[in-house]
Amino acid sequence: MDLWPTGRPMTELWLIGIGTGNPAHVTLEAQEALRAAALVMVPRKGPDKADLADLRHRILAESGSAAPVVEFDMPVRDESLPYLKRVTRWHDGIAHIWAETIDAAQPEGAVALMVWGDPGLYDSTLRIAARLTPRPRLRVVPGITALQALTAAHAIPFNTVNGAVTVTTGRRLRDHGWPEGAETVAVMLDGECSFQRLPPEGLHIWWGGFLGMDAQVLDAGPLAEAAPRIAATRAETRARHGWIMDSYLLRRAPDPDA
């Protein structure tokens, strides 16, 4: 039998996608899992992001879960390190906190983590879980992603007819420019509005922040016109809320009938 360092049987860890901020996006499967969990861990990310923890508690209440909840503080990334080393150490730190939290709680059943969006798309929860020793038995409950919420909010298709979509990050867009041969580009994790560095000719952008939440903000249009508006809106809303999650879609020669 696999054991944790305390000698208890290995924990089952449920990673539950909860969508992008709208409790109505939480699936019936996710609600059922939250009701069945023996313990729910909720991250605290500082006072500026207290509403993220509050939303998780609201989702728990609306799902009818009676599971005990334990909150934990997220470690801070060391910005002095190179990017990959910085992220690696941060993930190591999170895994260590998870293990300590589970050992201290000694749950008699599955431990649940509510994951923003979907655990498998541009989220590191699965990579962090792989660091636990021994590895827990994993269950993943899918959630609505930011890209789904974005295309729904703008009432646009994700792709053109027979067209491919390249999903990338703001960092890669800054470092490498427009992906070769791409028609549609979906960009995640872009804190620097990297679309401003692209030649705007022939590009259309659909952008959204706080997708699915009451604070949702949207903008769209030819990149040359929309880029300054989006950058200004992003800066203003981030300053007002203390944080922002946003994503966008870029497409060449948009066809409204595509």
User: What is the tens place of the pLDDT at every residue in 102-149?
Assistant: 989 989 899 999 999 999 998 999 999 999 988 889 999 999 999 999
Would residue 125 count as lying in a domain?
Answer: yes
206 contacts 154 by C-beta, under 8 angstroms: yes
The pLDDT of residue 48: 62
- pLDDT tens by residue, 144-197: 999 999 999 999 999 999 999 999 999 999 999 999 989 999 999 899 999 999
Domain count for the chain, please give it.
2
- Kindly report the pTM of this predicted structure: 0.87
Sheet holding 165-169, edge to edge: 165-169, 184-188, 246-252, 203-209, 217-222
Residues 127 and 153 in one domain: no
Q: Which amino acid is at 158?
A: F
The H-or-E segment that residue 186 falls in is strand 184-188
Determine contact, residues 37/11, Cβ cutoff 8 Å. Answer: no
Q: Which amino acid is at 105?
A: A
Q: Percentage of the chain with pLDDT > 70?
A: 92
> 124 and 28 in one domain?
yes
Q: Quick one: how far is CA 225 from the chain centroid?
A: 28
Domain end, chosen from 116, 144, 172, is at 144
Full domain range(s) for residue 118: 12-144
Q: Do 85 and 164 reside in the same domain of the chain?
A: no
Indicate if the alpha-carbon torsion angle 80, 85, 89, 91 is positive or negative: positive
Query: For residue 210, is pLDDT > 80?
Result: yes
